[in-house]
Amino acid sequence: MRRVLPVLVVTLAIVVIWYVAAVWLNSAWVIDQAARAGREPSFMDILRGTMNQDRPLLPPPHQVLAELWELTVEKRITSKRSLVYHGLVTLQATMLGFVVGAILGVALAIGIVHSRTMDLSVMPWAIISQTVPIVAIAPMIIVLSNAVGIEGRTVPKTIISAYLSYFPVLVSMVKGLRSPEREQLDLLKTYNASRWQTFVKLRLPASMPYFFASMKVAVAASLVGAIVGELPTGAIEGLGARMLIGSQFGEPMIMWTALFAAAILAALLVVAVGIVQALAARAMGQVAR
Amino acid sequence: MIWILGSLAAWAALWWVNTRIAASALAERRAGRVAAPLIFGLAMLIVWEGLVRGFEVSPVILPAPTAIAAKFAASLDVLWIDFVQTFVKGALTGWVIGCGAAVAVAVLIDRSPFLKAGLLPVGNFVAALPIVGIAPIMVMWFGFDWQSKAAVVVVMVFFPTLVNTVAGLDATDRMHRDLMKTWNASYWQALVKLRLPAAMPFIFNGLKIATTLALIGAIVAEFFGSPIKGMGFRISTEVGRLGIDMVWAEIAVAALAGTSFYGAVALAERWVTFWHPSQRGGR
């Protein structure tokens, strides 16, 4: 309770600030409408008028939640407006990119740990690759994969997701594979263990906590990649595409619901990874932190 | 054919050079640590050039590095305008405001354990959300020009910096704080002379994460509407006009800007936190 209470208070404060801001931002429209009708709006009129506009500058929380409920639970999944449908499209690219990124990150880390040459020449470029804004490259990835004859947008989105998510895995795995101590490595040497045996029996198990710690970061990054990948493609499916459509047609509610759906998806993914992490830690006999 | 084989041979030769560097004493010195990645990058460019020429790839699909360099040199003025619009006005302004606000808020809430206990989980949660999604909303609020881009950047960099700074302000030892107390140091004296310096490695960690986020935010926001300049705008229009070499020139600018921005913050970190174990030589 002592840990939950401050979080609740802060969350409540955010909601209150949000309502105040919504009234403040949306009131201009109400006052303007009333002025055109030649009326002087009372404070209660303004208050009521700001709570449920069609195109609010800032929709109040209950309006966003109501819209979200309608678009997820009440709409059929096959509907073009259903956020479950668009969320699944984004989720698919996210998971593909996440898997590809994790495999790539682990593979590169294994190479870097075992080859001094790769450590020297590849690792700096891995760092540089993350300072290059992926959104600049995203349109090119789409053009290139179209040129190679790949239809659809799943592949370019997957590549962008993987580009963002491989890096945290790589960094953590390099650290994890190097985490066995000198004595442990020496012990395996006295057993005459081959490089492969050392890797499978010592380095890999030792790296697992690092691996799972990087998964949460990687899955969040992967979702950002999938959403960003939907922006410059002219995609019509996916949460990023909904945001773009809402922006182009001047429909704030579409943008807000897509944003919230993306946030909920991110939270679910992080929680899911946390559960897998706890299960794996227990299976490996480690105490979950 | 000669291009393909030639470039692959050059790749093999340069890889061999790098293996020699890695095996020699040079690998422990600065020269080797700088040379090896440069040689690797050069090898990548040679293979790119060779494959594009060898397979006669159309420049509409993938231009050769030399063609991109030529385009880059020929359109410096346009690239500079875009750079100022997106990086200086959008990303840098937003980064300064967002990080400044985050550090200030962190110092403020640090005095109240209750606020800290409440804001940290919320901040951690928000830092994991795809905040780029607020870009269309910011464009709606602040218009098409750089103000909306800076606003997106402010929100994107705020939470990672906040979380890191709060963690950093907790990083002092009990002993150090007690020492400050025995000297009768006021809250502000202890903050400026002990706790902020001790927090610097954490703050710089947040600032470095924020540099990459800043550029992403500024460019993404341009996809939702921008004046007729800016890196994101140029990229999306040139893709439409099949001016792929211009797109790559713009990518080169983004890469240079992102890397040097990160490098500048890393240099500042080395200068400010020279006392920290990770910065002292011989790593």
Mean pLDDT in residue range B219-237: 83
Q: B264 in a domain, yes or no?
A: yes
Q: Find, among A137, A166, A158, the residue nearest to B219 by Cα.
A: A137
- If asked whether residues B51 and B142 sit together in one domain, one would say no
B29 pLDDT exceeds 80? no
Report in angstroms the alpha-carbon separations of A159 from A150, A229, B259: 12, 9, 21
Q: What is the pTM of this model?
A: 0.82
Q: Find, among A194, A287, A22, A143, the residue nearest to B236 by Cα.
A: A143
CA distance B197 to A264: 37
Best of B219, B222, B234, B248 to mutate (most A CBs within 10 Å, chain A):
B219
How far is B223 from chain A, CA to nearest CA, in Å? 7
Q: A71 in a domain, yes or no?
A: no
Q: Find, among B21, B17, B41, B20, the residue nearest to B30 by Cα.
A: B21
B76 pLDDT exceeds 90? no
CA distance B154 to A68: 26
CA distance A239 to A261: 8
Residues of B in contact with A18 (CB under 8 A): none
- If asked whether residues B14 and B115 sit together in one domain, one would say no
Residues of B in contact with A14 (CB under 8 A): 122
Residue ranges of chain A whose pLDDT lies below 70: 1-2, 151, 232-235, 286-289
CA distance A140 to A146: 10
CA distance A110 to A177: 8
Cβ distance A135 to B133 less than 8 Å, yes or no, reads: no
- pLDDT value of position B173: 82
Q: B145 in a domain, yes or no?
A: yes
- If asked whether residues A110 and A229 sit together in one domain, one would say yes
CB A124 within 8 A of CB B30: no
- Pure H helices in B75-173: 76-83, 93-109, 113-127, 135-142, 146-169
Domain range enclosing B214: 72-272
**Domain containing residue A160: CATH number:** 1.10.3720.10
> pLDDT band at residue B93, thresholds of 50, 70 and 90?
very high
Cβ distance B216 to A133 less than 8 Å, yes or no, reads: yes
- pLDDT value of position A288: 43
Cβ distance B139 to A247 less than 8 Å, yes or no, reads: yes
B222 pLDDT exceeds 60? yes
B282 pLDDT exceeds 70? no
ipTM of the complex: 0.77
- pLDDT value of position A1: 61
B164 Cβ under 8 Å from any chain A Cβ: no
- pLDDT value of position A107: 92
Q: B166 in a domain, yes or no?
A: yes
- pLDDT value of position A234: 64
Considering only CB atoms, B136 lies closest to which of A122, A140, A255, namely: A255
A130 Cβ under 8 Å from any chain B Cβ: yes
Cβ distance A227 to B140 less than 8 Å, yes or no, reads: no
- Residues 223..252 of A with a Cβ closer than 8 Å to B: which? 223-224, 227-228, 231-232, 239-240, 243-244, 246-247, 250, 252
Residues of A in contact with B251 (CB under 8 A): 132, 136-137, 140
- If asked whether residues A45 and A172 sit together in one domain, one would say no
Cβ distance B40 to A121 less than 8 Å, yes or no, reads: yes
Q: A62 in a domain, yes or no?
A: no
**Domain containing residue B157: CATH number:** 1.10.3720.10
Q: B21 in a domain, yes or no?
A: yes
Q: B135 in a domain, yes or no?
A: yes
Q: B63 in a domain, yes or no?
A: no
Q: Find, among B214, B245, B217, B218, the residue nearest to B230 by Cα.
A: B218
- If asked whether residues B138 and B175 sit together in one domain, one would say yes
Q: A63 in a domain, yes or no?
A: no
The tally of domains found in chain A comes to: 2
- If asked whether residues B122 and B95 sit together in one domain, one would say yes
- Residues 53..92 of B with a Cβ closer than 8 Å to A: which? 61-62
Q: Find, among A92, A46, A71, the residue nearest to A229 by Cα.
A: A92
- pLDDT value of position A147: 75
- If asked whether residues A97 and A13 sit together in one domain, one would say no
- pLDDT value of position A286: 63
Considering only CB atoms, B220 lies closest to which of A9, A122, A231, namely: A231
- If asked whether residues B9 and B130 sit together in one domain, one would say no
- pLDDT value of position B36: 78
Domain range enclosing A208: 83-283
B164 pLDDT exceeds 60? yes
Cβ distance B114 to A6 less than 8 Å, yes or no, reads: yes
Q: A192 in a domain, yes or no?
A: yes
How far is B142 from chain A, CA to nearest CA, in Å? 11
A274 Cβ under 8 Å from any chain B Cβ: no
- Pure H helices in B55-91: 65-74, 76-83
Q: End-to-end CA distance of chain B, in Å?
A: 45
Considering only CB atoms, A262 lies closest to which of B39, B130, B220, namely: B130
A137 Cβ under 8 Å from any chain B Cβ: yes
Q: B67 in a domain, yes or no?
A: no
- If asked whether residues B91 and B141 sit together in one domain, one would say yes
The tally of domains found in chain B comes to: 2
- If asked whether residues B264 and B190 sit together in one domain, one would say yes
B97 pLDDT exceeds 90? yes
- pLDDT value of position A25: 80
- pLDDT value of position A37: 78
- pLDDT value of position B102: 92
- If asked whether residues B49 and B180 sit together in one domain, one would say no
CB A105 within 8 A of CB A218: yes
Residue-averaged pLDDT of chain B: 84
B119 Cβ under 8 Å from any chain A Cβ: yes
Cβ distance B41 to A125 less than 8 Å, yes or no, reads: yes
- If asked whether residues B208 and B78 sit together in one domain, one would say yes
Higher-confidence residue of B87 and B60: namely B87
CB B96 within 8 A of CB B161: no
- If asked whether residues B179 and B202 sit together in one domain, one would say yes
